[in-house]
Amino acid sequence: MNEKIKMAVNGGIDFGSRLNAAQLRTIAKYMDDEESIEVTTFQQLYVEIPKDKEEEIIEEFKRVGLVCYPVGNYVKSLRTCNFCKGEEQEGMPVAKELNNRIAGKPVPFTLKVAYTGCPVGCGEPMLSDIGVMKMKDHYNLYIGGKAKGKDAEVGFLLLENLTPDQLYNAVEQIIDLYSENGKKREQFYKFIKRVDKNLILEQLAI
Ligand code: SF4
């Protein structure tokens, strides 16, 4: 039997998490009638594709605007708000660039990063491992949020008033610190509790 692999797919960062008809048809092409698809809480679909056709299917998905990510202990694609006030005002290009830089990086445990275009916070950045909130022309960076469990917690403000470049650098360096110093399968919020906040700040060169 043909081996299948699981892949996370979405329509990229846009005004809301949407898929058009061509994208849905392309995904359905690789599904049998009795197969179903998993919609995750992280604005991704999990699809299973034949391993021996992986590259050509990813190319085909790309042609209709689908973006593919690995499943497992990687940085997830950015969970975003719907950018209701407009692409530029809410920093969609910054969200896209950040996503390009970090999504799919291997980490000790699945890492969730959220972006929200204004302080209303529809992208729920405070409940993510790493959360970005656009504040007028700058960006605030939160870390350590935990959405699940009865010990759920909101993240704390690590850095504020960042430019886009400072934001990219800070997030990339925090992820590198976690990759290099996190224990196997240590969740990010536990890593943040174990490593002192000031120690993290000392390591950052932004
Ligand atoms: S966070 Fe702000 S910009 Fe984004 S969808 Fe909510 S209200 Fe709109």
DSSP string, 85-103: T-TTTTTHHHHHHHHHHHT
Residue nearest to atom 7 of ligand 1 (CA): 120
Structural domain harbouring 191 = 79-203
Select from 69, 93, 120 the last residue of a domain.
Answer: 69
* Co-location of 56 and 83 in the same domain: no
Report the CATH number at residue 122.
3.30.413.10
* Co-location of 122 and 63 in the same domain: no
pTM for the complete prediction?
Answer: 0.93
Q: What is the distance in A from the centroid of ligand 1 to the CA of 199?
A: 32
- Tokens for 130, please give them: 């790493």
Ligand 1, closest atom to CA 85?
A: 3
- Burial, 8: exposed, middle or buried (Cβ in 10 Å; 0-12, 13-18, 19+)? buried
Average per-residue pLDDT for the chain: 94
Ligand 1, closest atom to CA 82?
A: 5
**Residue 116 in domain:** yes
Q: What is the distance in A from the centroid of ligand 1 to the CA of 196?
A: 32
pLDDT band at 1 (very low <50, low <70, confident <90, very high): low
Q: What is the distance in A from the centroid of ligand 1 to the CA of 166?
A: 22
pLDDT digits (tens, 9 = 90+) for 113-154: 999 999 999 999 999 999 999 999 999 999 999 999 999 999
**Residue 89 in domain:** yes
Pocket of ligand 1 (CB under 6 A): 81-85, 90, 116-118, 120-122
Beta strands in the chain (DSSP E): 4-10, 38-39, 45-50, 67-69, 79-80, 113-116, 130-135, 138-143, 156-162
- Number of structural domains (the chain) is 2
* Co-location of 120 and 29 in the same domain: no
* Co-location of 94 and 193 in the same domain: yes
Report the CATH number at residue 39.
3.30.70
* Co-location of 54 and 107 in the same domain: no
**Residue 17 CB coordination number (10 Å):** 17
Q: How far is CA 114 from CA 18, 27, 184, in A?
A: 17, 25, 23
Select from 27, 48, 69 the last residue of a domain.
Answer: 69
**Residue 74 in domain:** no
* Co-location of 29 and 129 in the same domain: no
Four-CA torsion 148, 106, 185, 69, nearest 10 degrees: 40
Q: What is the distance in A from the centroid of ligand 1 to the CA of 58?
A: 31
Residue nearest to atom 8 of ligand 1 (CA): 84
